[in-house]
Structure 1
């Protein structure tokens, strides 16, 4: 069975946690002890609060909203699933970005009474920027509008305008009631006018990720030097293959230094192998003694990324402290941590009209296009080419807080006219 990762998103109180709870409950994917505890807390009318299956924080239970990202795992006879329940409140949009970064499909919930609203647009925009190309429009709470087909049709039409704007495949629209179980796991008897599939059947049949094969990428996490009598000269570079495949004998380049060597051995679980692929954790040993440190990237000579100190990126700003041009930050690109500056904010995206508007600052939850300069070179790919190496975060150098999630849109390699280039020095 293959694996499908999907995220539920949409505005606050649209029923995302209840929908996931219904999926788990009706597909009999809840363990007996959890089920017993859940039924003990059922309401006076005998109904079970299915949102409790995902809302685990005390504050979530008290307020009836999702705050943190929750992950749930379940399996049907046809497929394995990893579900991400993302918060809908605008205050926690940054948590939604985290959850969507690894998803293959997005279920966008809309309250049938509210229709498409600003947070629906914002979450669709973020999901599209993060590379998600499959959407399900779940029009929830149909029981509260009398299962009216006209209401569903209007919302489906409004949402189609969004997906058309992003040139995305049309979303599959499903009318449902997560609370009552209509069209979630079993077909609804209340909506005979709907002839499509229920939600679970669609999730079981939809194709998985169709990302194109990315070039091989490996970033060093740890340098292994045991220096024991048995292994006096052993030097291995441990990390996870981010994309592609590596083979023994490959000619490689170490970035940012530009030094060239050859893979002498690949080790997986302390055993030598001929090849290894993403997402395996491996140890790479090189034939030559070259200077390789944590954060360096090892790539085949024939498949080099852009090695740059200047790039354009889309940011989702996650800090209550605004971003102003010239601000100094730290850029974390997997294991590489470098000083950086944001000299220019090119524009901000209006989440209502999707227009690009001029902006002097970025506020909390703003989506902006910026230019970034780094003190040391980074080996990056455009996000659309490689989700693993085209993403990064920005960190406040004083507090250590994550202030933005970034996607590389364009990288400038004009600084690199020679294999080994001196570092750029600027006040930071």
Structure 2
């Protein structure tokens, strides 16, 4: 009986200890679960994730939408979370980008912060020494021509531009005014002639027919030939990386030539005769142009560049002719014609950057004008004598299919501010 009581007491004591162990384990499990839930809640506050991500056992991924843990009824099609790509752009840089790059200033940040484009205006002056070439043998005196070609003449190119941002600019350019001149004076003894010819319309005609003009059998001939040019441009220029710029714009170019031949002769006696023939040609070119500049940096302060422009214009060409005999106007004539003309402008330059905003340069340029009117390209004039013996033009016309080539050296400076 005693043994039975001892066995019963042992069983009860063992059960009590086992029950206490279960309670302690349960309490520990509850504490562990509470700590885990608290840590998970803190993680969710920093790394909001979708249930789909957690169920895959992946590391938390940053999301743009804060989503709570969902239950078993959640479907992937209901997941509205998003993942932003990795980026080094901070909120401050993004703010600068919105303000400067998409606002009034297209420079904006470059990844190193927020920088404005501080260049608003640019001005430049280029001194150009250009020569009008060609037509070396031209002369309206049969006995002699001009001694030499046109000289290199000085002219300026003035540019003023406004930077709307670091990419777009509008500029005004004036080039000129160029004046070239050639002169020749020759004296003889009733033996200086010219290529003009006369159609005798007198009734009855003279016997023998008159074929000479007052410019033939002269004692002296003076020839003067002048050429002038100036140009106005308004362009929109686009810059890219300080290495390339392109332009498109409107241009007006005026090219003129004036010629005068003065003759003096002593025959027929007793009255001396003087006469003058003038030919004035004007080309007004209106149209558009495209072009660009390409820069190549050779050192910290030096660079080279090439420039090109191509223009297509409508050319309004006009011609005015006048004959003076003994200082009195005896005949006038003229003609007008409109046609297409072209311009090619090329240049190569070297640059030295003195300071951040000041640069000097030098180079060589070539200009080619096509389909323009010039004095040498006109036909030798024919004249008629009316019944009173006056010398008149016989239907003067104009030819505007000639070419003009200009070339020369340039030196200039540019200021940015």
Normalized against structure 1, the TM-score is what? 0.21
User: Where is the strand percentage greater, Structure 1 or Structure 2?
Assistant: 2
